[in-house]
Amino acid sequence: MIRLVPWSEDDLHLAERFLGDSRMMVHLGGRQAPDAIQKAHGRWLNVGRAGTGEMFKVVAGEEIVGQVGYWEKDWHGEPIFEAGWSIFPQYQGRGLALEATLAIIERARARGTRRSLHAFPHVDNEASNAICGKAGFTLIGPVEFEYPPGNFEMSNDWSIALL
């Protein structure tokens, strides 16, 4: 069982662990530079502060095992929520990402402000694509997607209805 703990100012070191690790970023454009990590940390903080979504640390027992969140996005002219998650390599394969994803689906649904939640895992990211299927998302199909900013790659567009 996991707990979701809101992302905080003190979590820059976790952003560095996620975004600065080439294993964690293999399907997300590679490890990011320190200035890009600082900007990402700021975006994750602002999501919660601005009320445009929520970002969390994923905690299992007393260990921080990953991060998960959702945020507002305009996608093809439609206001949606986008979801994202990362679980540290030593905790992968235990169902923690699926549990965290299911939790944010319910949190996004409870907001009642967007018709759908989308996830955009890289087409080669078998684990994240499997999580989308297990969580009840519908595969829309492959799309060119930008992440991190300036890096365009082929991702799968998965969607789940919220309203």
Domain ranges in the chain? Answer: 2-161
What mean pLDDT do residues 105-134 have? Answer: 97
Lowest model confidence (mean pLDDT) among 28-42, 48-62, 96-110: 28-42
User: 40 vs 62, 75, 89, 117, 149, CA distance in Å?
Assistant: 25, 20, 20, 20, 10
Confidence class for position 65, pLDDT limits 50, 70, 90: very high
Q: What is the mean pLDDT of the chain?
A: 94
Contact yes or no for 148/29 (Cβ under 8 A): yes
Return the CATH number of 2-161, one of 3.90.25.10, 3.30.70.60, 2.60.120.260, 3.40.630.30: 3.40.630.30
Cis amide prior to 148 (ω within 30 degrees)? yes
Q: What is the pTM of this model?
A: 0.92
